[in-house]
Amino acid sequence: MGEGIGEGGPLVRGTMGIVIILALLLASLPIIMTYSTLVMTSFANTIVSSPWVKFRFTLENWRLFLEGKLAPTAGIVYTPEDILRFILNTGIVAGGVTLVVLAASVTSAYAFSRMNFFMRSGMMKLLILLHAFPGVALIVGVYAIYVFLNNYIPRDYSIYYSFIFVIIARASLEIPMAIWILKGFFDRVPWELEWATIVDGGSRLTALRTAVLPLVKPGIAAVAIFAFLAGWEDLIYVLVFLPPQEKTLATYIESQLGSGSLETTYLPVVAAAGTLYLIPTIIFFVVTQRLLLETMSGGLKG
């Protein structure tokens, strides 16, 4: 660190700090404004076009949104949408992706870090390559697999199949990077910790559970958050593989803003949907700040 450049150090850093904060504020102003108008609109009785407009606070939009009454002006022949179901769907996909990513990446990262097997370093490189492929590029192939497997699925189970397929397909896109991140964490845990457990009477599994996993917790949490967000925000896989009536928040918002529907949609209600959709991302930033700063402090010599 460039600590202490003479006596002027802290002072210089102080002014620099202010300049940097100002510059950052200026740069992020458009983004902040967009998000704040979105959030404010969801609580207002009309569309908020700038953060300085006076508005009347109301929860009406949220009520309408949660009741699925999205086009209050559309007239009589109108069935409310099952928004709670959409939220649940989003949760299922995001949670499912998280679980699959964790199960696959924790075990394989441990293997990559601890075991010697054929083509280990080659496979690590392959993982990075896999990560470089955008999910959209793979979708044709993934669709082919979907159709192929679908032949063997009884009709009654087809809805479960869709969900499981979406979860696994979406998780596969996240797994390569997750393995990389976790392998780095596992590599930092000395072998001796595991051996100590085994010498002390534990099995290899006990060693993994009691000596290693607690130390890679920050890595597991980071991977879990990334996976959850990937599932939560996914649009294209859900759109392609879930039946049209099974929406998630992302596909629901898309459908509201998509072709033609904009005229009948009451935008403050969509703003409520957008705000809800944002919440995990906000939580993510709050949590990761602490998490990423958290370092593994040692009980190891040195």
Residues that bind other proteins (CB under 8 A): 190, 192-193, 195-203, 206, 210-211, 214-215, 296-302
Beta carbon of residue 180, minimum distance to other proteins (angstroms, whole number): 23
H/E stretch holding 241 reads helix 236-241
Quickly tell me which residue has 């009347």 as its tokens: 56
CA 125 distance to own-chain centroid:
24
List, in sequence order, every residue forming a beta bridge with 57; answer none if it has no partner.
Answer: 44
Least CB distance from residue 228 to other proteins, whole Å?
Answer: 24
Please say which residue, 220 or 273, places its beta carbon nearer to other proteins: 220
Nearest one of 93, 102, 133, 120 to 235, comparing CA atoms: 93
Query: Which residues touch 82 (CB under 8 Å, ≥6 apart)?
Result: 68
Smallest gap from Cβ 116 to other proteins, in A, equals: 9
Half-sphere exposure of 104 (CA within 13 A, CB side): 21
Report the residue number, 151 or 297, with the smaller CB distance to other proteins. 297
Q: How far apart are CA 96 and CA 168, in angstroms?
A: 8
Minimum distance from residue 208 beta carbon to other proteins (Å): 13
Nearer to other proteins, 154 or 201 (CB): 201
Q: State which residue, 113 or 197, has the beta carbon closest to other proteins.
A: 197
Nearer to other proteins, 63 or 204 (CB): 204
Element counts in the chain: helices (H) and strands (E) = 12, 0
DSSP 212: I
Both tokens of 111, joined, read 């293997």
Q: Which is nearer to other proteins, 244 or 302 (CB)?
A: 302
Task: Please report how close the Cβ of residue 296 comes to other proteins at its closest, in angstroms.
Answer: 7
